């Protein structure tokens, strides 16, 4: 099992995004745990479906926040989300067809999550802070 745990370096400074990121880490950890348990493929596929649906929900939620704060890199960030969903689907298909182990999929998800939150999502911090510092009319 890979060591998947929440770390403050994943925080972007927005309570909802940070809470959703924590939930995402929990789901990735669950995939890793089930991989170590050699869970039945049906259970793993249902868990992967949960990950995909949660990712879709979270991306829409995060993109709405970007629009709310006038994030200047919205389109680029949205495209990265779309790429991840396509890649996640591809990786899940590899697992389903026995072309890749479940633990490899867990590694992919966590590596992508860690890189995305510490680089792309961190760029949101300034826009969120600037938006929060601007008094409402």
Q: What is the pTM of this model?
A: 0.88
What mean pLDDT is predicted for residues 71-93? 95
Neighbours of 115 (CB within 10 A): 11
- CATH number for 40-133 (one of 3.30.70.270, 2.170.140.10, 1.20.120.50, 1.10.3720.10): it is 1.20.120.50
Query: Is residue 114 within 8 Å of 10, Cβ to Cβ?
Result: yes
Average per-residue pLDDT in the chain? 90
Please, which pLDDT band fits residue 14 given cuts at 50, 70 and 90?
confident
88-98 residue pLDDT tens: 999 999 999 99
Please, which pLDDT band fits residue 42 given cuts at 50, 70 and 90?
very high
């Amino acid at each position: 099992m890979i060591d998947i745990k929440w770390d403050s370096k994943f925080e972007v400074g927005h309570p909802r995004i940070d809470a959703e990121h924590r939930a995402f880490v929990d789901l990735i950890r669950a995939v890793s745990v089930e991989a170590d348990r050699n869970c039945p493929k049906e259970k793993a596929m249902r868990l992967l479906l949960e990950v995909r649906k949660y990712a879709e929900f979270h991306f829409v939620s995060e993109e709405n926040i970007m629009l709310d704060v006038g994030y200047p890199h919205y389109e680029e960030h949205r495209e990265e989300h779309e790429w991840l969903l396509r890649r996640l689907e591809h990786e899940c298909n590899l697992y389903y067809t026995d072309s890749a182990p479940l633990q490899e999929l867990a590694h992919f998800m966590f590596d992508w999550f860690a890189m995305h939150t510490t680089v792309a999502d961190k760029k949101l911090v300034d826009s969120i802070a600037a938006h929060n510092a601007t008094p409402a009319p």
